[in-house]
Amino acid sequence: MRSKVNKRYTRRNSKLTGWRLFGIYSLLLIIAVPFIFPTWWMFTASLKPIEEVFAFPASLIPNDFQISNYAEVFRLQPFLRQYWNSMFIAIVVTIISVTISTMGGYAFARINFKWRSKLFVILLSALLMPAEVTLIPIFRLMVKSGLSDSFFPIILIPAFGAHAVVGLFLMRQFFLDFPAELEEAAEIDGLSRWRVFTKIALPLSGPALASLAIISFLYSWNLFLEPLVFLTEPNKYTLPVVLPQFTDTYGAPIFNVQLAATSLSVIPVMIVFVVAQRHFIRGITMTGIKS
């Protein structure tokens, strides 16, 4: 299907040249400024002494490299611990949500069970549910059961809540396109439905699983509202909760240190994005197409 679409494009795909190409490049470069510029300022300001952060004229490259900003991050907060918290939570969330979303997505795509389409429409409503709406009762429940200041809600909500529905939706789209002949052959050979799933479908869904894993990891890594509401001890904080807290005693941000901490939280994600760009974009696209 995809190759057919591409072939149709031969004529329109004739390469742009000359002034038109120049025009498009300049336009895109101008629009790209607010997309590239922030990352540049984040890295450079994180290496500047505080006087230079707001110096006039502003320096594109630090005049005076102050690596100690990064040491300061670890002195002001148990940052290593918080980094680990974020990592640990994201890994657990990813494992759980990939497992249950893949199973659910397969069931909704391939197995004709009772109320399937009705249940699917009801599930979809979760995609539009504002987090604030569901958070209040969950907060109440967690406080009542004494699980409030723990990782429990921070793992439970992204792993089993609305995000799991997104994952299910994504995997359902993937399995809908899956060739039925393979499965039918396996069933004739006497494999149970569950076996068909684990022995035939799963081994062939590597790329889709990779996309889903990336999306789940990022979702948890970037989650802010839930950890902000539930976690109260600095030792339990995740990165998004601690980043805004690099402030002086008056609550004003210490920008160079704060941006150093922010850089540390963004760098691994950026590296993975550059390496596995294809998976990121395909995963996002799969959630949108054909819905």
Partner 1 sequence: MRHWRTGLFMAAPVLLGFIFLVFYPVVSVIRDSFTSYNPLSGDAAFIGTDNYTRLIQDETALEVARNTLIFACILVPVNMALALFLAVLLNLHFKGRTTFRAIFFSPVIVSTVAWTIVWKYILQDDGPFNYFLSLGGVDGPNWLRDNPWPMISVVMVQVFKNLGMNMIFFLAALQGVPEEMYESSEIDGANRWQQFKKITLPFISPTILLVAILTIAGAFQVFAQVLLLTGGGPGLSTTVLSYYIFINAFQIFDLGYASALAVCLFVFVMGLTVAQWQIRTRWVFREV
Task: Return the residues of window 60-99 that contact partner 1 according to CB under 8 A.
Answer: 99
Looking at 82, 221, 237, 279, which residue binds partner 1 (CB under 8 A)?
221
The interface region with partner 1, picked from 77-85, 161-169, 175-183, 201-209 by CB under 8 A, is 161-169
Q: How many residues does the chain have?
A: 291
Measured at the alpha carbon of residue 213, what is the angle toward residues 103 and 5, in degrees to the nearest 5? 85
| CA-to-CA separations, 46 to 40, 178, 237, 288, in angstroms, rounded | 10, 48, 22, 37
Looking at 168, 186, 213, 257, which residue binds partner 1 (CB under 8 A)?
168
Rule CB under 8 A: which of 123-142 touch partner 1?
123, 125-140
The interface region with partner 1, picked from 69-77, 176-184, 186-194, 202-210 by CB under 8 A, is 186-194
Q: Which is nearer to partner 1, 66 or 134 (CB)?
A: 134
Q: Which is nearer to partner 1, 235 or 277 (CB)?
A: 277
- Binding of partner 1 at residue 151 (CB under 8 A)? no
Looking at 80, 143, 185, 271, which residue binds partner 1 (CB under 8 A)?
143
Q: How far is CA 96 from the centre of its chain?
A: 15
Q: Which is nearer to partner 1, 13 or 235 (CB)?
A: 13
Record the tokens describing residue 4, joined without a space.
């057919």
* Shortest CB 280 distance to partner 1, Å: 6
- Binding of partner 1 at residue 257 (CB under 8 A)? no
Cβ neighbours of residue 79 closer than 8 Å, sequence gap 6 or more: 73, 242, 261, 264
Q: What is the CA radius of gyration of the chain?
A: 24
Looking at 66, 224, 234, 254, which residue binds partner 1 (CB under 8 A)?
224
| Residue 4, Cβ density class (10 Å: 0-12 exposed, 13-18 middle, ≥19 buried) | exposed
- Binding of partner 1 at residue 154 (CB under 8 A)? no
Rule CB under 8 A: which of 13-42 touch partner 1?
13-16, 21, 24-25, 27-28, 31-32, 34-39, 41-42
Measured at the alpha carbon of residue 217, what is the angle toward residues 234 and 287, in degrees to the nearest 5? 135
Nearest CA to 130 out of 155, 84, 161, 94 is that of 161
